[in-house]
Amino acid sequence: MGKLLLLGFIFALTLISQETFAQTAKQVAGINADVAAINRKVKSYRKTTKPVEGVSLEGTEATYFASGKSLKKIKAEIFGETYDATAEIYFQGEKPIFAVENINRYNVPIGITPRKRVKTEERRVYFVNEKSIKTMVGSKAINSKTEKFKEINDEMNDLIGKLKAAF
């Protein structure tokens, strides 16, 4: 009887996790469609470019794309001592729905030549109601119960907050 109960419990957990995965996949597909729609209309949005303080010591420049008073997209160029990065954040209403950051790390500070890129990393975060539903580094999904998930999401939310505040 105990083994049967255990098997039933494992089966139920498997069904629940498959359902959750399917729901997340459906949400991610919807977000990707929204991002594609924003990018198709980007030329029709009001465009404002300005420096943003407090993101990195070497400087950040953000380009904001808005429709009326509604922010649709932010594209930021970020420079650090030994890295540069590009971030794009997409919005629906006033809430972020997707953020992608491409980070290039170098063997020497940015101003020194020759320099060599030693690492490139792409981070993607999908949001529903300002909560991350999926976080990826490269093609690998990051488990939501790990410290890396928390770290990436905290960094991304901090970046979004600073860029949005400068709008």
DSSP, residue by residue, 30-97: HHHHHHHHHHHHGGGSEEEEEE-TTS-TT-EEEEEEEETTEEEEEEEEEE-SSEEEEEEEEEETTEEE
Q: In 3-state terms, what secondary structure has residue 150? A: helix
Task: Report the domain count for the chain.
Answer: 1
3-state percent helix, strand, coil for the chain, nearest multiple of 5: 35, 40, 25
Q: pLDDT tens digits, residue range 40-95?
A: 999 999 999 999 999 998 999 999 999 999 999 999 999 999 999 999 999 998 89
pTM: 0.84
Task: Tell me the residue range of the domain where 79 lies.
Answer: 2-165
pLDDT over 50 (residue 8): no
| Closest to 121 (Cα-Cα) out of 139, 97, 143, 144 | 139
> pLDDT tens digits, residue range 13-30?
343 444 445 678 899 999
